[in-house]
Amino acid sequence: MSGLYIEAGGSRGIGSLRGSPERALRARRRVALALGTVAMAVALMAQPAAASTTVSLHIVEAGSYSCLGPCASATYFNVVGRASSNIFRTMRYTTQGTVLSYDQNTNCLSQVETWQFTVRRPHHRPDHLFLTTTSDTFCFTSNPNVSHESATFVITGGSGRLRGATGQGSFAEDVLTTPQVGGGTMDATLTY
């Protein structure tokens, strides 16, 4: 007999190829297939990351809020609402906020908020966009039913198509005491 025979496991073990050129050929093909599969996986993982997209994002949003305890003395609040944007069209959002302090001289609250926008796509899992305020003031006005909020924020990530999103922006809102609703506009530079 001529040629190279592969023996995997001894003369009586599984895969013994002694005396069988056909078995040796099949084994070499399996090894070549396995090596080819590994090479393809390595090549796919070495692909450069997809190019990122940077856009100017404009959002119009409105929602209703609730407080943990009476809103006049609450430290924590939640917002649920709907938004529309020039990039993602209709979205839903939730916000969790914490009042940090009150300044009597400006009649403003200092607070921090985290937002989650949900972008629904037919036949796909929804995408999410996350942001956190970096400076956020909620100021009372001479009208006891109207307050103004203004903030800057950073985009802290996302999921789905927005995975790894970054950016920054600002927003301004008018907030009513009764009914407990608010709304405004947000502008940001978004990279995803």
Q: 36 and 59: one domain?
A: no
Average pLDDT over the chain, rounded to an integer: 86
Is residue 19 over pLDDT 80?
no
Q: 62 and 43: one domain?
A: no
Q: 31 and 90: one domain?
A: no
pLDDT of residue 37: 67
Q: 117 and 158: one domain?
A: yes
Q: 42 and 59: one domain?
A: no
Q: 134 and 40: one domain?
A: no
Q: 86 and 178: one domain?
A: yes
pLDDT of residue 87: 94
**For 38-64, what is the mean pLDDT?**
77
pLDDT interval class at 26 (50, 70, 90): confident
Compute how many other C-beta atoms are within 10 angstroms of the C-beta atom of residue 125.
Answer: 10
pTM comes to 0.73
Is beta strand 54-67 parallel, antiparallel or unpaired with respect to 181-191?
A: antiparallel
pLDDT of residue 50: 60
Q: 102 and 26: one domain?
A: no
Per the structure, the complete domain to which residue 32 belongs is given by: 1-47
Q: 109 and 174: one domain?
A: yes
* Locus of tokens 């592969």: 6
- Is the CB of residue 38 less than 8 Å from the CB of residue 45? no
Q: 27 and 93: one domain?
A: no
Q: 81 and 141: one domain?
A: yes
Is beta strand 76-85 parallel, antiparallel or unpaired with respect to 166-176?
A: unpaired
Report the number of distinct structural domains present in the chain: 2
pLDDT of residue 40: 63
> Which backbone phi and psi does 175 adopt, to 5 degrees?
-125, 130
pLDDT of residue 124: 87
Structure tokens at 61: 């949003």
> For the domain that residue 175 is a member of, what is the CATH number?
2.40.480.10
Q: 16 and 33: one domain?
A: yes
